[in-house]
Structure 1
Amino acid sequence: MAKNVGGLDKGLRIVAGLALLGLGAFGPLGWWGAIGIVPLATGLMGNCPLYSVLGLNTCPVR
């Protein structure tokens, strides 16, 4: 898989994913916080399937 998620985008996805997971575990979101797995996984892998479909790329290295 080619990487299509750049540095800033990757960092924001990881932070958002962890925040959602934390709000789900310790806050008001409950099981809905599990949706945080998606941005966390795409941030850690550096590849977003939706970006591939839309033809977007925030990664500076091609």
Structure 2
Amino acid sequence: MRIVLDRPRCEGHDLCEEAAPRLMHLDDDGELVLDREEVGEADAGLANAAVRVCPVAALRIA
């Protein structure tokens, strides 16, 4: 499972980081950084939650 970020679409709402802080964070400039693109079964729920809460659909699972 892999998290894919559509960077131009991301508006930095921070909801994804709240849902999956082990997988992503906003940097000092408010840009989303994926700490891990490849996600194992243990973090699949977090990754799916981050995708669901994004209000601009900037994240997807591949």
* Larger Rg belongs to: 1
Compare the two structures and name the one with the higher strand fraction.
Answer: 2
Q: Larger helix proportion, structure 1 or 2?
A: 1
Q: How does the TM-score come out when normalised to structure 1?
A: 0.30
